[in-house]
């Protein structure tokens, strides 16, 4: 008599997971009411501190998040905590600033948050309010040759500011906080925030890109910018221009030369 055919093991059920909110094509993330659970967890364990310059997490290259992992409890709780810290203390935050080496950034700029700026300053910076955005595994592509130089600060370099030149306009691609694809263009201050936060994911601080002679304490922010210098060159001028964005030591010399040639041509027009 033939042995009975063994029954196949029942398929393992995948535990259903759900993002704590929904995202749109431009990365805007709307938290759902169910995220109250995340707030209770934070209250019980205490929110993580923003790590400061010198912490290894700020100098390591962060690890990408698998798309299937975005709706996991680990990543959703990280996103929720980042949004709460960002809303309480700034306009942007990267996961390494909380000691988490993952490629996640959040950003939000509100009318209330920019209330200490004059209308002229806001227009000069192209700074406009936008709702909270969550970008997982972001990649940025510069659009055009225009750049802008303005003061920047960082929660991880507390108490200081310096002028940094950034691309004026960038295209951002990645995934939203619920795993949906994200693809949008940002200009002005939003583009600056994105570039600052994505730098964090690559172990780069704004001090690596700053115009070093402009570094100052926050309480001295309104002091005049330094003038021309025989060793360090022409004085920094705030605002938009076609001057090239400063590149790191890994950039090719050919790219730097090409950028300078473009800038000279544009100045002659």
Q: Please identify every residue annotated as catalytic.
A: 197
Q: How far is CA 224 from the centre of its chain?
A: 28
DSSP 13: P
User: How many of the other CB atoms lie within 10 Å of CB of 269?
Assistant: 5
Calculated CA dihedral for residues 218, 224, 225, 226, nearest 10 degrees = -120
Using CA atoms, how far residue 30 sits from 21, 47, 98, 151, 197, in Å, is 5, 21, 22, 30, 20
Would you say 147 and 166 are in contact if contact means Cβ atoms under 8 Å apart? yes
Exposed / middle / buried, residue 33 (Cβ in 10 Å: 0-12, 13-18, 19+): exposed
| Cβ pair 142, 170 in contact under 8 A | yes
Please give the Cα distance from 194 to 93 (Å, whole number).
9
């Amino acid at each position: 008599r033939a042995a009975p055919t063994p029954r196949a093991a029942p398929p393992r059920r995948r535990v259903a997971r759900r993002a704590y909110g929904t995202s749109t094509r431009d990365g805007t993330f709307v938290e759902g009411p169910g995220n109250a659970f995340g707030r209770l967890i934070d209250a019980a364990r205490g929110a993580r501190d923003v790590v400061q310059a010198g912490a290894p997490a700020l100098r390591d290259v962060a690890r990408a998040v698998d798309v299937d992992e975005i709706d996991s409890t680990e990543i959703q709780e990280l996103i929720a905590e980042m949004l709460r810290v960002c809303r309480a203390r700034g306009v942007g935050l990267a996961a390494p600033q909380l000691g988490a080496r993952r490629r996640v950034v959040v950003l939000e700029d509100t009318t209330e948050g920019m209330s200490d700026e004059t209308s002229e300053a806001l227009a000069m910076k192209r700074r406009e309010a936008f709702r909270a955005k969550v970008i997982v595994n972001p990649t940025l592509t510069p659009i055009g040759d225009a750049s802008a130089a303005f003061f920047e600060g960082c929660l991880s370099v507390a108490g200081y500011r310096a002028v940094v030149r950034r691309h004026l306009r960038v295209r951002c691609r990645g995934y939203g906080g619920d795993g949906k694809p994200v693809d949008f263009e940002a200009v002005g201050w939003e583009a600056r925030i994105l570039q600052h936060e994505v730098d964090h994911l690559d172990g780069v601080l704004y001090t690596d890109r700053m115009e070093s002679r402009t570094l100052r304490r926050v309480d001295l922010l309104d002091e005049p910018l330094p003038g021309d210098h025989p060793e360090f060159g022409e004085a920094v001028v705030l605002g938009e221009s076609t001057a090239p964005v400063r590149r790191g030591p890994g950039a090719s010399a050919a790219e730097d030369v090409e950028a300078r040639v473009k800038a000279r041509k544009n100045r002659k027009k």
